[in-house]
Amino acid sequence: MSETVALKKDSGGSAPGATPLLELRGLRVAYGAIEALKGIDLTVGEGEIVALLGGNGAGKTTTLRTISGMLSPRSGEVLLGGDRIDGIKSHDLVRFGIGHVPEGRRVFPRMSVQENLQMGAYRFKSVDAAQLGRVYELFPRLAERRTQLSGTLSGGEQQMLAIGRALMGKPELLLLDEPSMGLAPLVVQQIFEIIKEINAAGTTVLLVEQNAAQALALADRGYVLETGSIAMSGPAREMLADSRIRAAYLGEGAV
């Protein structure tokens, strides 16, 4: 019922789209006494790639987990296409077209590649063969290893599988948590390429990355999270040029 509609990419790509697909308003999230998000506001326009940057423990993962319903906010709102979705459990949220590729890949190790992909389509009555074909087209490596147990895949292959699995749910909004972590340079490039392709095909992307340079090179806009608050935001290209960003996240001239 909530089939994703392919949208053309906003040609301008710089400003938030007219219709923000995702909106966070004053979001506060805490683990027990520790407040990990201290009231953040963030929007992702339809068709955009937005990069969320920040140091370790800044709260990036927490943000994504809150959006996909694994954590519930202490206060604040999460809106998807204008509707409040905070408080909805993650397994229900899947129906709203949110795909989440978690930190550290987390494939189902004792299922084959194909079974993992089928799990991605769990929310549908049956697995859409065409979509499966598209994913295999996007990741020919996975097609080769259809029957291999995914626990024995290499890190990069697992990352591809995790993304492919999320795509099987035909998400409108794809949340990616550090997709380049622990991957070989070549694979990192491939992954970024693929993200670009997915986005071009109409999926909106919220990308969390440590690898700031590449993330910003890819994204339309960016946010920087520092200890639970948004420290900076703006068009990606401008952020790339910002000297503070460059000092802190591109490793230039520091120390």
Ligand X SMILES: Nc1ncnc2c1ncn2[C@@H]1O[C@H](COP(=O)(O)OP(=O)(O)OP(=O)(O)O)[C@@H](O)[C@H]1O
Q: How far is CA 138 from CA 160, 181, 191, 198, 201, in A?
A: 9, 20, 10, 9, 11
> Cα(44)–Cα(179) distance, rounded to whole angstroms?
19
36 binds, among Mg ion, other proteins, ligand X, none (CB under 5 to 8 A by kind): ligand X
Q: Which stretch binds other proteins (CB under 8 A): 22-30, 36-44, 120-128, 194-202?
A: 120-128
Residue 203 CA to chain centroid, in angstroms? 10
Tell me 177's DSSP state: E
Interactions with ligand X, residue window 72-131 (CB under 6 A): 103
Element (H, E) at 154: none
236 binds, among other proteins, ligand X, Mg ion, none (CB under 5 to 8 A by kind): none
Pick one of 13, 30, 35, 55: the residue that binds other proteins (CB under 8 A). Answer: 55
Stretch that binds Mg ion, among 101-109, 189-197, 220-228, 235-243 (CB under 5 A): 101-109
Rank residues 59 and 97 by Cβ distance to ligand X and give the closer one: 59
Q: Note whether 112 and 150 are within 8 A (CB).
A: yes
Q: Is the Cβ of residue 190 or residue 233 nearer to other proteins in the bound state?
A: 190
Q: Is 18 in the site for other proteins (CB under 8 A)?
A: no
